[in-house]
Amino acid sequence: MLTLDDLDQRLISALRTDSRAAVSKLAVELKVSRATVESRIKRLLERGVILGFTVRMPDEDSEETVRAIMSIEVVGRSTTAVVKTLRGISEIESLYTTNGAWDLIAEIRTTSLKAFDRVLADVRGTDGVLNSETSLLLSSI
């Protein structure tokens, strides 16, 4: 496992803010040479710390977008079947296993409350889902 130093952490933070920032801009912001930024990015990519770069489009987070985190409890050993079904729901952006009272965590994004309500019904109606709790994401801070 690669140990991340302060510069690595600051570089990752800068890339999270603007994944398309020019290397020269990152170098100025981080107060290091351009070559240092390039070598750090290359190393982080090679070691799998950074998996890629992304672009966020404004319409993805419009005022109508509904985002939520759903905690899901699964009956017995039906997790594999539940996961397979949930992966078929396009509004579920990410799905995680977890520990504690809940078995799965789903990140949900829909274009309206009506679509969100349908996703909730689809998840709760999935064979093997015993219980769920959903929290709407109101604003990013």
CATH class label, 59-136: alpha beta
Spell out the domain ranges in the chain: 6-46, 59-136
Say yes or no to pLDDT of 90 above 90. no
- Which one-letter DSSP state was computed for residue 67? E
List C-alpha distances in Å: 123 to 9, 60, 65, 88.
37, 22, 19, 11
Q: What is the mean pLDDT of residues 5-32?
A: 90
Q: Give 116's pLDDT tier (boundaries 50, 70, 90).
A: very high
Q: Give 55's pLDDT tier (boundaries 50, 70, 90).
A: low
Closest listed residue to residue 1, CA positions, set 44, 53, 52: 44
Which of the following CATH numbers is that of domain 6-46: 1.10.10.10, 3.40.50.2300, 3.40.50.800, 3.40.50.920?
1.10.10.10
Reported pTM: 0.60
Say yes or no to pLDDT of 72 above 90. yes
Structure confidence at residue 57 (pLDDT) = 56
Please tell me the total number of residues recorded for the chain in this structure.
141
Say yes or no to pLDDT of 140 above 80. no
Say yes or no to pLDDT of 62 above 80. no
Say yes or no to pLDDT of 5 above 60. yes
